[in-house]
């Protein structure tokens, strides 16, 4: 690795002092709150990388520092100023905080190619920061989503002075971004436009009416998914390149830690995700792979927090998500928790009180935090609910099948039809898409889907973990997509979204190798990527399982031809007739991790 000399005075454009405290009157009473500490600013700091590119950093320091301090930094494509409040907080709590734009974004040099350069660049940033006079040699990272990925990518390069990472909602290339289970979402172009060029595009990113109109146009005109960038008006090379990698291959593998990398990791790690976090799959993949491949020392120093939050809530928790409201304990002070973590790992302070055990998870419904030594130590017992129906009737909530504890014998299979040219579902996608209690599409399956209900639970019952679903199905087409959704239906008829999964039929055996369906053949389809959740079902609640083929403006549409899905359009459309079996030889079942009630 090349070594870089200290040229701090030549690299800084200016030194400014931020007067964040109000001037107190000389006669102020002793019980007035202590004013915030002053913060000094190093503006436009240029950090040289090994290839000559310079990244731009804004550095926040406690005013009148008497000694060097640990440095925390965020490496972000969202422009440094978006994290100003975090930087101010940590600088006021005796840390130096550096906000660094990734290459090609903000005031950094170079060209931005998502996920490609962050590992090497992150390494070089760590080592450069460690050599500065205001750093005591200990460097940490902060951030979520893309900035969570940056932390794992940087750790992969093993910079000697990286002391801890705290990845929240970390995206994982090839797992949950740019596709989940090899199925792309239209949000992809929204994100690529947000991060295009060098300036912030926040207002365009948040213009929901614009994006919904473009997604609807692609859907209503039956355009190929690969035309989405044209429909949006932003021809994008990254979008087209990603479509050339429809499976997790070597291109995506290079961006994430390998098994050997995980074996080397032994620094303290705090992983944070949420039950409704869109990047939970990525965050949990990093965690689980480290737990599987890591050394005993590394595993012992890795903590996990699973809150009731959505993606944004993993950094700024809210008591309300998608129409659900949680108890006051759910709203953690994340800044304070991070500060305690950094005090512990960087300054030798006490371990945060909140981290009573390596795993902390929030039980919605009961509104309490629980703790475990590991995910495997959570005292859940898998209980199988077998799918069944009366004479093959399971096509809506009023004529549904059942989730039965008893293994089925002889029974008629259930059937549904997915016509990719059916445009009716779009009418139910105008609003309320983030409402976790919204059931319009379930009530109006229009023949596309099956519904199964359990018997009411006789007492409050906790479910904690990941459900698994095994379906035996036959198709009359070479390929189609499946979506499975699990909800709690309360005794008063209201419902709460619990978890869901997707699967493209050609990837039923492996996400890395396509195998088209032989029409008419009964195949086993296993859904094993449900999100992790914890909820206490109310007394009298039932579980509702919905099986359907997604037909949405928000997902890449499968026209069922068996060709390249991103290139398919209405001329390729095939109507899929799906038969779901639930008999002794083909026992379709839902496996649910139930927690036995505590004995009084």
Side-chain half-sphere exposure of 222, counting CA atoms within 13 A: 12
Q: Is residue 17's pLDDT more than 50?
A: no
What confidence category does residue 31 fall into, taking pLDDT thresholds of 50, 70 and 90?
low
More confident residue, 458 or 19: 458
Side-chain half-sphere exposure of 287, counting CA atoms within 13 A: 29
Q: Is the dihedral of CA 31, 32, 33, 34 positive or negative?
A: negative
pLDDT at residue number 597: 76
More confident residue, 340 or 1: 340
| Contact predicate 242/113, CB 8 Å | no
Q: Which of 75, 54, 62 is nearest to 12 (CA)?
A: 54
Q: Hey, what are 156's tokens?
A: 């992969």
pLDDT at residue number 432: 42
Q: Is residue 9's pLDDT more than 50?
A: no
Q: Is residue 150's pLDDT more than 70?
A: yes
SS3 461: strand
Distance spanning both ends of the chain, measured CA to CA:
62
Give percent of the chain with pLDDT exceeding 70: 91
The domain locations on the chain are 1-20+33-144+156-164, 166-182+267-377, 186-243, 380-557+572-595
The runs of H, that is alpha helices, within 545-593 are none
By mean pLDDT, which of 97-106, 440-449, 564-573 is the weakest? 440-449
Beta bridge partners of 59: 42, 98
| CATH top-level class of 1-20+33-144+156-164 | alpha beta
User: Cβ neighbours of residue 38 under 8 Å, at least 6 residues apart?
Assistant: 17, 18, 19, 20, 21, 62, 63, 64
Q: Is residue 427's pLDDT more than 90?
A: no
Return the percent helix, strand and coil in the chain, to nearest 5. 25, 30, 45
Q: Is residue 26's pLDDT more than 80?
A: no
pLDDT at residue number 124: 98
Residue with tokens 């993993």: 314
Q: Which residues of 485-504 are buried (b: 16+ CB within 10 A; e: fewer)?
A: bbbbbbeeeebbbbbbbbbb
- Phi, psi at 363, each rounded to 5°: -95, 105
Tens-place pLDDT, residues 488-528: 999 999 999 999 999 999 999 999 999 999 999 999 999 99
pLDDT at residue number 2: 37
pLDDT at residue number 4: 31
The runs of H, that is alpha helices, within 422-481 are 440-443
pLDDT at residue number 6: 33
Calpha distance 135→546 (Å, rounded): 54
**CA angle, 523 as apex, 522 and 527 as ends, to 5°?**
140
pLDDT at residue number 439: 53
| Contact predicate 528/470, CB 8 Å | no
Classify residue 10 as exposed, middle or buried by CB count within 10 Å of its CB (0-12, 13-18, 19+). exposed
Mean pLDDT of 557-577: 98
Q: Is the dihedral of CA 391, 395, 398, 402 positive or negative?
A: positive
Q: Hey, what are 309's tokens?
A: 């939050």
Q: Which fold has domain 380-557+572-595?
A: Jelly Rolls (2.60.120)
pLDDT at residue number 599: 64
Tens-place pLDDT, residues 279-298: 999 999 999 999 999 999 99
Average pLDDT, the chain: 92
pLDDT at residue number 447: 76
Classify residue 29 as exposed, middle or buried by CB count within 10 Å of its CB (0-12, 13-18, 19+). exposed
Beta bridge partners of 580: 414, 473
What confidence category does residue 16 fall into, taking pLDDT thresholds of 50, 70 and 90?
very low
What confidence category does residue 19 fall into, taking pLDDT thresholds of 50, 70 and 90?
very low
**CA angle, 461 as apex, 365 and 442 as ends, to 5°?**
70
What confidence category does residue 24 fall into, taking pLDDT thresholds of 50, 70 and 90?
very low
CB atoms within 10 A of CB 66: 6
What confidence category does residue 85 fall into, taking pLDDT thresholds of 50, 70 and 90?
very high
| Largest pairwise CA distance in the chain | 87
Which H helix or E strand runs over 537? strand 533-537
Classify residue 31 as exposed, middle or buried by CB count within 10 Å of its CB (0-12, 13-18, 19+). exposed
Taking the CA atoms of the chain, what radius of gyration do you get in angstroms? 26
Q: Is residue 117's pLDDT more than 60?
A: yes
Full DSSP string of 34-66: PPPPPEEEEEEEEEE-TTS-EEEEEEEEETT-S
Calpha distance 133→130 (Å, rounded): 8
Q: Which of 515, 416, 413 is nearest to 472 (CA)?
A: 413
Calpha distance 151→122 (Å, rounded): 8
- Phi, psi at 89, each rounded to 5°: -60, -50
Which CATH superfamily includes the segment(s) 166-182+267-377? Alpha/Beta hydrolase fold, catalytic domain (3.40.50.1820)
Q: Is residue 13's pLDDT more than 70?
A: no
Mean pLDDT of 53-78: 97
What confidence category does residue 34 fall into, taking pLDDT thresholds of 50, 70 and 90?
confident
pLDDT at residue number 425: 74
Tens-place pLDDT, residues 238-262: 999 999 999 999 999 999 999 999 9
pLDDT at residue number 35: 78
What confidence category does residue 418 fall into, taking pLDDT thresholds of 50, 70 and 90?
very high
What confidence category does residue 438 fall into, taking pLDDT thresholds of 50, 70 and 90?
low
Domains 1-20+33-144+156-164 and 166-182+267-377 are alike in CATH topology: yes
CB atoms within 10 A of CB 193: 20
pLDDT at residue number 596: 82
Calpha distance 508→511 (Å, rounded): 7
């Amino acid at each position: 690795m090349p070594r870089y000399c200290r040229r701090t005075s030549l690299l800084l454009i200016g030194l400014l002092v931020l007067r964040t405290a109000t001037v107190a009157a000389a006669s102020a009473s002793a019980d007035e709150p202590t004013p915030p500490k002053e913060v000094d600013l190093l503006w436009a700091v240029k950090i040289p990388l090994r290839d000559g590119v310079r990244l731009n950093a804004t550095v926040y320091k406690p005013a009148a520092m008497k000694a060097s301090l640990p440095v925390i930094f965020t490496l972000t494509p969202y422009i440094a100023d978006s994290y100003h409040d975090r930087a101010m907080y940590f600088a006021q709590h005796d840390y130096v905080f550096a906000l660094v734009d990734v290459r090609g974004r903000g005031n950094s040099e170079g060209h931005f190619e998502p996920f490609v350069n962050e590992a090497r660049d992150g390494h070089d940033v760590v080592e450069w920061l460690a050599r500065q006079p205001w750093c005591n040699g200990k460097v940490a990272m902060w951030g979520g989503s893309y900035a969570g990925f940056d932390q794992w990518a940087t750790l992969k390069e093993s910079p000697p002075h990286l002391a801890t990472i705290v990845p929240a909602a970390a995206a994982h290339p090839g797992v949950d971004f740019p596709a989940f289970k090899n199925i792309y979402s239209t949000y992809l172009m929204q994100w690529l436009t947000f991060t295009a060029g060098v300036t912030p595009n926040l207002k365009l990113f948040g213009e929901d009416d614009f994006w919904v109109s473009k997604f609807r146009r692609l859907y209503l005109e039956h355009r190929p998914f690969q035309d989405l960038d044209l429909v949006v008006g932003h021809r994008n090379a990254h979008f087209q390149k990603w479509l050339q990698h429809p499976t997790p291959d070597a291109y995506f593998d290079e961006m994430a830690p390998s098994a050997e990398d995980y074996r080397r990791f032994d620094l303290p790690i705090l992983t944070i995700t949420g039950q409704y976090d869109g990047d939970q799959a990525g965050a949990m993949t990093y965690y689980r792979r480290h737990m599987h491949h890591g050394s005993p020392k590394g595993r012992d120093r890795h903590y996990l927090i699973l809150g009731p939050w959505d993606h944004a809530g993993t950094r700024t928790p809210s008591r309300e998500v998608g129409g659900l409201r949680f108890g006051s304990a759910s709203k953690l002070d994340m800044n304070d928790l991070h500060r305690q973590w950094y005090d512990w790992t960087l300054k030798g302070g006490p371990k945060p009180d909140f981290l009573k055990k390596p795993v902390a998870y929030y039980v919605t419904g009961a509104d309490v935090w629980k703790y475990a030594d590991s995910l495997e130590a959570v005292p859940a017992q898998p209980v199988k609910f077998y799918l069944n129906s009366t004479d093959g009737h399971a096509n809506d909530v009023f004529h549904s099948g059942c989730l039965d504890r008893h293994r089925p014998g002889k029974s008629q299979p259930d059937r549904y039809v997915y016509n990719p040219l059916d445009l009716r579902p779009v009418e139910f996608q105008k609003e309320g898409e983030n409402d976790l209690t919204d059931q319009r599409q379930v009530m109006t399956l229009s023949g596309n889907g099956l519904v199964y209900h359990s018997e009411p639970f006789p007492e409050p019952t906790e479910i904690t973990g990941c459900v698994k679903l095994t379906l035996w199905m036959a198709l009359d087409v070479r390929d189609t997509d499946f979506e499975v959704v699990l909800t709690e239906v309360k005794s008063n008829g209201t419902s709460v979204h619990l978890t869901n999964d997707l699967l493209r039929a050609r990837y039923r055996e492996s996400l890395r190798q396509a195998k088209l369906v032989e029409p008419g053949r009964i195949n086993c389809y296993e859904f094993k990527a449900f999100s992790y959740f914890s909820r206490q079902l109310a007394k009298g609640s039932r579980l509702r399982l919905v099986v359907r083929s997604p037909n949405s403006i928000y997902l890449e549409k499968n026209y069922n031809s068996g060709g390249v899905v991103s290139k398919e359009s209405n001329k390729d459309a095939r109507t899929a007739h799906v038969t779901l079996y639930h008999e002794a030889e083909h026992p379709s079942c839902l496996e649910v991790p139930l927690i036995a009630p505590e004995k009084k």
